[in-house]
Structure 1
Amino acid sequence: MPERIINLNDEAVQSSIAEMNLSEQLQKILSTVDAEAKRLGEIIGSLNEGKFELVKKSYESVKQLKDEAQNLKEETMEYIVRVSPALLTKELYIYSLSHLDRLIQIMDSIAYRLTILAESGIELDGGAKERFIEMSRKSLNMVSELFQEAKMLSTNAKMILEVHEGINSKEEEVDQLYRGLVLEIIKKYSKDVFSLMILKEIVDLTEDLADIIREASHDFKYLALYKL
């Protein structure tokens, strides 16, 4: 009986250490992802100002951050595999890494398509431009909020639940902006297939970004509930 108690205690300690290490790794990943989001925001700003050459030059920094974040994600996944017998929440961490990987790729895809816009000299104007700026700003702000959730995993799990509600609200706002923006783009560019295709892809990806951030926030919410 004493041996069994010791084994249980050892497993609890191992699980606690694994949770701490994973919280740190998620913070590192999201720190890089947040930096990628900021670079993407700068690209959008440059495009809106007509600074097309700056848009094309800035894409490389987004790609580098994407590669860095994906390498961190792979290292974290390998760590989960090694410690999985002691980790009760391993599936939640795996889900979160999967969602973060998708988030990383979506931002890179948006940035790449923005460079195509810059090379082609295509610009949004009027209401469509304003809607896209607001939509992208809200989506990228959600990345920063997700980063805050990652920081709270090891310090203030209860606060994650509040941040999660804010992310849910922003996702709904992005969805509303998306519907109006898609209709506006289709009406304006219906006779220009190339512009319609690339602009709709960018808008679709921006809406996908908000969706995947919400999913990743769900993962953090469940991890927080486990800790409470």
Structure 2
Amino acid sequence: MSIEGSSALVELTATEHLVNLCRIVRDEIEMLKSLVNMYSDINVEKKRVIDIYSKVRNIKERGEEQKVLIMEYLVKNIEIAMFTKSYVEITRILDRIIQHLDSVGYRFVLMIENDVLIGREAASEFIRFIEVLKEQLDALEASIDKLRVSPRKALETLNRVFAIEEDIDEKFRRGLFEIYSKYAGYISALLILKDIYEHLEEVSDFLKSAGEELRYLILVKSAMS
């Protein structure tokens, strides 16, 4: 196989690994959504919530294993050395997202263990927030996937990541205002809800950062083609 062919194959595999890591993040988002749905049911047994959270933890472990796999693959294959930094950075950012989502899940467990109740309306708002994060992740994954066949289409798809981040910024500011208004006299709920909102907003920021690194990679590849 030619050097060009070998390099293309290595890059194809590296991209597939990143797509798989994105799918692990999606699995964690879906499990977190289930956890919040269960939390909103005031009749749910605490053990069921903890069982759901254990699945979040299992997904987190899968993500950590995938991160190591990607890092090892990149180290062993020098054919794409000039792109390695971008692949590593995107991998590290996705890993941070996995850690933050786990932290959000743990905070919901803490709330239910300590009988901190926020009502269905607030829980529904979190679910809507999580669904928008999933849309942002989907756009990032689609852009990574298109990188293999068309950098131009990958760049067009990537713009959605940045547009959603702006929408989430607005949701974050509005959400913080609402919890300060509703829970001013309920300090334990106020503090933990603020913490959850901040973690979710950081997830969106991380997705934007991954998008910026991906955009750089796309532009470099476009310039070389």
Q: TM-score range by the shorter chain?
A: 0.7 to 0.9
Q: How does 1:117-132 map to 2 (within 5 A)?
A: 117-125=111-119, 128-132=122-126
Give, as a single letter, the amino acid of the residue that structure 2 aligns with 1:140: K
Deviates more, 1:191-200 or 1:108-117: 191-200
Paired residue secondary structure (1:117): helix
1:171 is matched with: 165
Q: How does 1:136-215 map to 2 (within 5 A)?
A: 136-215=130-209
Shift of 1:128: 4.4
Number of aligned residues: 219
| TM-score (normalised: structure 2) | 0.87
Give, as a single letter, the amino acid of the residue that structure 2 aligns with 1:101: D
Distance of 1:94 and 1:18 partners within structure 2: 14
The question of whether the paired residues in 2 share the 8 Å contact of 1:160 and 1:220 is answered with no
1:102 pairs with 2:96: yes
Gaps of 5+ in 1: 1-8
Q: How does 1:1-228 map to 2 (within 5 A)?
A: 10=3, 12-50=4-42, 51=44, 53=46, 54-84=48-78, 86-125=80-119, 128-228=122-222
Give, as a single letter, the amino acid of the residue that structure 2 aligns with 1:181: G
Q: Which has the larger Rg?
A: 1
The question of whether the paired residues in 1 share the 8 Å contact of 2:32 and 2:105 is answered with yes
Distance of 1:20 and 1:113 partners within structure 2: 38
Deviates more, 1:119-128 or 1:37-46: 119-128
Give, as a single letter, the amino acid of the residue that structure 1 aligns with 2:216: Y
Identity of aligned residues (%): 25
Shift of 1:64: 0.6
Distance of 2:80 and 2:129 partners within structure 1: 42
User: CA offsets, 1:18-62, max 9 Å, x none?
Assistant: 211201111221222211111111112222333353322201111
1:6 is matched with: none
